[in-house]
Amino acid sequence: MTKRSPFKYFKSSPEIIRLAVMLYVRFPLSLRNVEDLLHERGIDVSHETVRFWWNRFGPMFASEIRRRRVQQLRAFSPWQWHVDEVFVKINGERHYLWRAVDHEGEVLESVVTKRRNKRAALKMLRKLMRGYGQPEVLVTDRFASYKAALREIGCEDRQACGRWLNNRVENSHLPFRRRERAMQRFRRMRSLQKFVAVHSSVFNHFNQDRGLSKRDHFKLKRTAALAEWRGQ
């Protein structure tokens, strides 16, 4: 049975929809910024249309990227992960965004919780290990809830703590913080969870480690990532 195209009843082409979603998620732009950029390219859509496209197709694009990358990551031994949490404000209330990255900066998982305790740490770690298995080393800060959660899972001996060991995940928070300022914070916990899931997948797809590659290699990888995005 032929699968129906998700773009079937839309007047705009899939290429334009993919471009709009990529601009909004990948770069720290507002909806109106994306509207203006598309207008310069002769595409007349409102910022509310961009909002609808992002909500409708963003999770679908992210799931396609995540499915391919998880299959690739499972082929390699999960050597070292870094886990950390940052606070975010939702309607003036403090929530916590837990994020895990591997030793190369690949974002593995993002979870939003209302509390910063053992139960929240368990939720994050169990979801992470359910998708990727168990690492050889799990780098965290000295927050006691990590140790308690890892003890319950049976991975306490794999925890590593140190003053600068977790810089990898600390630096990975920066793209999200820039995006948060552009969006003028979030208004619902569910919308934040949805956005960070899509943002992390798109970030992984286009993150080519510019500082670690020669210019020619970087250009080839960037072109391949963009071609893959357009042809999903």
- For the chain, the structural domain boundaries read 11-76, 77-193
Q: In this model, does residue 4 exceed pLDDT 90?
A: no
For residue 156, the one-letter residue type is: E
C-alpha to C-alpha distances, 226 to 68, 195, 229, nearest whole angstrom? 15, 21, 5
* Length of the chain (residues): 232
For residue 205, the one-letter residue type is: H
Q: In this model, does residue 15 exceed pLDDT 80?
A: yes
State mean pLDDT over 6-16. 85
Q: In the prediction, which pLDDT does 19 show?
A: 92
Q: In the prediction, which pLDDT does 6 show?
A: 80
Q: In the prediction, which pLDDT does 49 show?
A: 93
Say what the alpha-carbon torsion angle 178, 183, 188, 190 is, to the nearest 10 degrees. Answer: -60
**What whole-number percentage of the chain has pLDDT above 90?**
31
Q: In the prediction, which pLDDT does 225 show?
A: 84
Q: In the prediction, which pLDDT does 97 show?
A: 92
- 141-200 pLDDT tens trace: 888 999 999 999 988 899 988 878 888 888 888 888 888 887 777 888 888 899 998 988
Q: In the prediction, which pLDDT does 149 show?
A: 92
Q: In this model, does residue 1 exceed pLDDT 60?
A: no
Q: In the prediction, which pLDDT does 70 show?
A: 74
Distance CA(115)–CA(97), nearest Å, equals 10
Q: In the prediction, which pLDDT does 182 show?
A: 79
State mean pLDDT over 129-152. 89
State mean pLDDT over 16-45. 92
Q: In this model, does residue 90 exceed pLDDT 90?
A: no
State mean pLDDT over 41-48. 92
Q: In this model, does residue 211 exceed pLDDT 80?
A: no
Candidate CATH numbers 3.40.50.2300, 3.30.310.220, 3.40.50.12280, 3.30.420.10; the one for domain 77-193: 3.30.420.10
State mean pLDDT over 4-31. 88
What is the pTM assigned to this prediction? 0.82
Q: In what order do the strands lie in the sheet with 159-161?
A: 107-113, 93-102, 80-90, 137-140, 159-161
